[in-house]
Amino acid sequence: MTIKINKKQIIVALDMDSEHEVEAILDLLDPSLYRVKVGKQLFMNLGPKIIKKINNLGFEVFLDLKLHDIPNTVSKALGNILSLNLWMTNIHLSGGKEMVEASVQKIKEFGNETLLVGVTVLTSLNDKNMEEIGFYKNVEETTLSSAKFGKDIGIDGVVASLDNVSEIKSNFGNDFLVVTPGIRMQQDDQDQKRSGSLFDAIQFGSDFVVIGRELTQAKDKDEVIHQFNSLIV
Ligand code: C5P
């Protein structure tokens, strides 16, 4: 069994420092097939001008700053990025309901189409980390409870690990978007799927998959793109 990926379902993470490195990756990508993600690393070095440049090349941008601060600060920060013609941006749901409400309100006031998704629990955290931080719920429980209040307040979806995609979809419906980061190419033998594979993400119902180092650090980037392209319908 093979998988099919929709056009623009793959988001390539531009986790790099320079315009030169960004151009080298964008040269390999067709903007009608891929979206791209700009995170803290790139944005802190090059700022809004790199978003404009990427947009001018025809790519839709997910600005992944995972905003997390008091409601007023997050709302003002959002106000400063919403004019950048973003396809999607995000906030941390652990900032609490009031912060999420202020964010949703800011997007409404701004009146543009930017999608707002919430980070549930970072995929780099496990139950032990949750306990160390002082969260009394585990990863799964926190993911579901934060997704619930996020949806109730009006965000468009969540960023969540592969492990929680099916549950989020069954609890909150298919229209509630799930973006899954940390995706790796599936193994050749599909009977031995590993957690985090592209195959699993698509099967479980992720709306968007984020591919970072799997492409950007690959020795043969053309080959990786070729493999992705062959799955896109
Ligand atoms: O290189 P790799 O594919 O592991 O990159 C994952 C990307 O997804 C990074 O840009 C990271 O910031 C992002 N990420 C995320 N939310 C998470 C975990 C990772 O947006 N919960």
> Tens digits of per-residue pLDDT, 6-25?
999 999 999 999 999 999 99
> Could you confirm whether 97 is annotated as catalytic?
no
- Name the DSSP class of 232: B
Question: Taking 60 as the threshold, does the pLDDT of residue 187 lie above it?
Answer: no
Question: Taking 60 as the threshold, does the pLDDT of residue 191 lie above it?
Answer: no
Stretch among 75-89, 145-159, 161-175, 188-202 having the lowest mean pLDDT: 188-202
On whether residue 64 sits in a domain, the answer given is yes
The CATH number assigned to the domain holding 152 equals 3.20.20.70
Cα of 62 vs centre of ligand 1, distance in Å, is 12
In this predicted model, which residue has the larger pLDDT, 184 or 152? 152
On whether residue 14 sits in a domain, the answer given is yes
Nearest atom in ligand 1 to the alpha carbon of residue 123 is 21
On whether residue 176 sits in a domain, the answer given is yes
DSSP line for 43-74: HHHHTHHHHHHHHHTT--EEEEEEE-S-HHHH
- Residue of minimum CA distance from atom 14 in ligand 1: 181
Cα of 37 vs centre of ligand 1, distance in Å, is 10
C-beta 181 within 6 A of ligand 1: yes
Cα of 178 vs centre of ligand 1, distance in Å, is 14
On whether residue 140 sits in a domain, the answer given is yes
On whether residue 2 sits in a domain, the answer given is no
Number of structural domains (the chain) is 1
Question: Taking 80 as the threshold, does the pLDDT of residue 165 lie above it?
Answer: yes
Secondary structure of residue 165 in the 3-state scheme: helix
Domain interval for residue 198? 10-229
On whether residue 181 sits in a domain, the answer given is yes
Mean model confidence pLDDT for the chain: 93
On whether residue 143 sits in a domain, the answer given is yes
On whether residue 215 sits in a domain, the answer given is yes
Judge whether 199 and 185 are in contact, CB under 8 Å: no
